[in-house]
């Protein structure tokens, strides 16, 4: 009897794990490695999260979207729940028998609709385990409480600080991108899941958390961080290069992003700058419609992207609205955190030749997801299409290579020096002098 219960329990867990892998498969594609950019954000508010910039489509929708970045508010971080399968009332518990019918229903949908190669046999289970970290990504909404950092699983255990928001608790406490958190308040996290680690690190405003940090070859040391409420603006602007260069940073592609960016762009161009920098580094994406509108500000003619379905059929997304850039030289800053909608815009600009990409290779996320309602009321999202640039360059799994590669080194981070931005300013200044 005990053996039978153990078997049922294992099968139940297997079902949950396999279904949990579905989002990973749909969001990242089978075979994509984990650990390159599978960042998750630290915060206090639980909620649903998808992979960076993943776009979702209902059968009646003409535009893709994701929860979080697409909300009417500005960007925030969230600790993810279990977004892959939305359980209905009476969902499986550890003691319930395996619902083989539901499992097969989900698996048949996946095999029928998924655009890509699926793992077979035991690979399904192993992929679910290997790619579990890919489920935990930020769900940005405008404000949150936390330490102001994004993390990913580190090789050998613990979590690596992938990105620190400027002037926020983690950065103020002296933490650096690349630091690995080994313990939280004295508790080892090198063998915990990413979600467990996040739940230990996050907490309410004004509370303290002690993090044990490994930095390069140094001996591990403790850092105490006072959590706070983090406000992240959608758009940030400033003037650089002795008043000759205008800089605009876009944090996400939410529903308010096109108008906010248009305002900032018009104000910047009204100063008649000699050059413009659009910073898409760390931008995880958002609404497809927002990416098309924003891309149109920088592309005077032609499409913004191509959507190609599993059956080979295509949909061309033409530009919308006014072209705002004019003849102003443009540099678009990108890195491994530039995903999905960011890649759509960056790819359209690169193909149109209205600007150059500078920085590091982008994330490589460009897919459409179709939500399916299962018989028990749960939901399965399947990747049904992929994005391509106007010149037919695939985004998903490949990313975009910058025209000028500039890496942000550990030395730069330690010195709080933005070598990529400095290089962009210098490039435009040199272009002016020619």
What are the catalytic residues?
Answer: 340, 351, 365
Supply 55's token pair: 């776009």
Closest to 38 (Cα-Cα) out of 55, 50, 26: 50
Decide if 427 contacts 331 (C-beta within 8 A). yes
Pairing of strands 275-279, 245-250: parallel
Whether the CB-CB separation of 40 and 63 falls below 8 Å is answered with: no
- DSSP strands (E only) in 312-434: 314-318, 330-334, 356-359, 367-373, 379-388, 404-405
Contact at 8 Å (CB) between 162 and 177?
yes
Q: What is the rounded distance in angstroms from the CA atom of residue 387 to the CA atom of residue 94?
A: 39
Helix, strand, coil shares of the chain, percent, nearest 5, are 30, 25, 45
> What burial letters (b/e) apply to 40-56, b meaning 16+ CB within 10 Å?
bbbbbeebebbbbbbbb
Dihedral sign (CA 90, 94, 97, 101): positive
Which tokens is 129 given? 């385990």
What are residue 110's DSSP bridge partners?
A: none
Residue 300 near residue 330, CB atoms below 8 Å: no
The CA-atom distances, in angstroms, between 280 and each of 88, 181, 199 are 38, 27, 28
For 306, the 3-state DSSP assignment is strand
332 strand-pairing partners? 278, 357
Which tokens in the block code for residue 347? 């790819």
């Amino acid at each position: 009897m005990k053996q039978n219960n153990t078997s049922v329990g294992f099968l139940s867990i297997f079902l949950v794990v396999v279904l949990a892998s579905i989002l990973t498969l749909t969001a990242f594609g089978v075979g994509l490695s984990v650990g390159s950019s599978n960042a998750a954000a630290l915060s206090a508010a639980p909620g649903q999260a998808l992979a960076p910039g993943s776009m979702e489509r209902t059968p009646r929708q003409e535009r893709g979207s994701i929860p979080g970045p697409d909300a009417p508010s500005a960007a925030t971080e969230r600790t993810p729940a279990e977004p892959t399968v939305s359980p209905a009332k009476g969902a499986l518990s550890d003691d319930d028998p395996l619902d083989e019918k539901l499992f097969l229903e989900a698996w048949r949908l996946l095999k029928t609709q998924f655009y890509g190669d699926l793992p077979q046999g035991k690979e399904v289970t192993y992929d679910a385990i290997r790619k579990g970290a890919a489920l935990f990504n930020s769900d940005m909404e405008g404000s949150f409480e936390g330490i102001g950092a994004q993390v990913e699983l580190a090789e050998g255990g613990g979590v690596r600080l992938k990105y620190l928001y400027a002037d926020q608790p983690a950065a103020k406490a002296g933490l650096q991108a690349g630091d690995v958190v080994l313990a939280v308040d004295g508790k080892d996290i090198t063998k915990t899941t990413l979600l467990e680690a996040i739940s230990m690190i996050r907490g309410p405003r004004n509370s303290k958390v002690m993090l044990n940090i490994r930095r390069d070859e140094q001996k591990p040391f403790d850092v105490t961080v006072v959590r706070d409420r983090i406000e992240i603006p959608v758009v940030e602007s400033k003037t650089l290069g002795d008043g000759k260069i205008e800089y605009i940073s876009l944090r996400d592609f939410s529903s308010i992003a096109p108008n906010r960016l248009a305002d900032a762009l018009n104000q910047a161009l009204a100063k008649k700058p000699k050059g413009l920098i659009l910073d898409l580094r760390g931008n995880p994406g958002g609404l497809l419609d927002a990416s098309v509108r924003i891309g149109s500000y920088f592309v005077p003619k032609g499409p913004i992207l191509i959507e190609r379905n599993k059956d080979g059929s295509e949909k061309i997304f033409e530009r919308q609205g006014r072209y705002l850039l004019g003849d102003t030289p443009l540099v678009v800053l990108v890195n491994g955190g530039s995903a999905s909608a960011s890649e759509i815009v960056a790819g359209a600009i690169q193909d149109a030749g209205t600007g150059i990409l500078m920085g590091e290779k982008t994330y490589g996320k460009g897919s459409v997801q179709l939500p399916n309602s299962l018989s028990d009321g749960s939901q399965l999202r399947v990747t049904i299409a992929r994005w391509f640039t106007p010149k037919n360059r695939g985004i998903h799994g490949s990313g975009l290579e910058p025209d000028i590669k500039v890496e942000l080194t550990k030395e730069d981070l330690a010195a709080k020096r933005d070598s990529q931005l400095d290089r962009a300013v210098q490039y435009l200044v040199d272009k002016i002098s020619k």
